[in-house]
Structure 1
């Protein structure tokens, strides 16, 4: 493994590492069941609509118009959206602390590299006060491509201005880490805050 002096940029996933997922199956089942939405009908529409939404090719209101608001529930987007946002929570406070310590060190550029709609991404960065930790944001809703497609990693590498070998990527999904490694990035496949701290220490990046 490369030494910490060679790592220039640390890319962080958000959902599953720092926060709960934004609108995955469990989160949407909780909200939609409470609202009386037909889940089978919703799921039949989700994948096609989500392809556009998470890539920033449609808005949140357009997404929910296609998937939920067409079910004649006497429900408006303005009523639905706060309930969607309310499902997000800090998943691992210790990971947020590690992120903060790395940011405070001033040694590395820190960036997100996550799959999320533009609206949820902006809400979550602001609501959980994550924005100040990061220098920039590589989000599928901004760059119109999703992990594990190579395009989003290439965009991250090019925007960083450094070689892929100088980038460290932290994500909780093995397939996303494998895709990053295939382009030469170093990776940590996240399992727990303790494991993350240990693997950072092995790379010479001590968050303590």
Structure 2
């Protein structure tokens, strides 16, 4: 436990508050129902996703490259695909929202996000699940052009916070992302469940 008081709490979104945005299970479910050749999709996904999740490519261009061009016989359009992609996002842990709301109402901490997401899907999720009311700012890979667990996204978070890294606490469901935050001098909680998160915050003297 750090002796330095926590001033900023950074939250991951997918896996802590909401389901992931467009992970392998989600795309398998959506694309299989459409008759998309999954092998052809996965053959290009990683290469194209590198640019999309870093905000260097639009959603329309991403799905043109990964789905429409690899399955020309299906005559799919982006307008058909995008609502199906968005519909995969759901609340994962309502209790996590309750913890977040308690921290917000306390007024003791600055709340922000550090998440890997494309610009368009991030905006959809912030609006649909009313996340903007909780957070002061958003360190999203689609905005800062780098992804967890690489150090530049944590550097951006700390620089934008204007506060020392040791005053920040990061919550994420992936251990490697927490380890990367700690390597940058931040505190971190590896999220496993809302109950475990509540206990970890309480242990650090953060009332929830």
Match of 1:171 in 2: 172
Give the TM-score taking structure 1 as reference length: 0.98
What SS class does the counterpart of residue 133 from structure 2 fall into? helix
Match of 1:100 in 2: 101
Alignment of 1:1-208 (within 5 A): 1-2=1-2, 6-70=5-69, 71-72=71-72, 73-207=74-208
What SS class does the counterpart of residue 68 from structure 1 fall into? helix
Give the TM-score taking structure 2 as reference length: 0.98
Aligned residues: 206
Cα deviations by residue, 1:71-130 (Å, 9 ceiling, x for unpaired): 121111011100000000000000011001101111110001000000000000110111
The Cα of 1:2 is off from its aligned counterpart by 3.0
What SS class does the counterpart of residue 159 from structure 2 fall into? helix
Could you list the runs of 5+ residues in structure 1 that have no partner in the other structure?
A: none
Could you list the runs of 5+ residues in structure 2 that have no partner in the other structure?
A: none
**How many Å separate the matches in 1 of 2:25 and 2:131?**
23
The Cα of 1:144 is off from its aligned counterpart by 0.1
What SS class does the counterpart of residue 75 from structure 1 fall into? coil
Cα deviations by residue, 1:169-204 (Å, 9 ceiling, x for unpaired): 000001000000001100000000000000000011
The Cα of 1:21 is off from its aligned counterpart by 0.4
Aligned CA RMSD, in angstroms, stands at: 0.8
The Cα of 1:206 is off from its aligned counterpart by 1.5
**How many Å separate the matches in 2 of 1:201 and 1:182?**
23
**How many Å separate the matches in 2 of 1:174 and 1:82?**
31
In the TM superposition, structure 1's runs of 4+ consecutive aligned residues that sit over 4 Å from their partners are: none
Cα deviations by residue, 1:34-67 (Å, 9 ceiling, x for unpaired): 1000000000010000000000000000000000
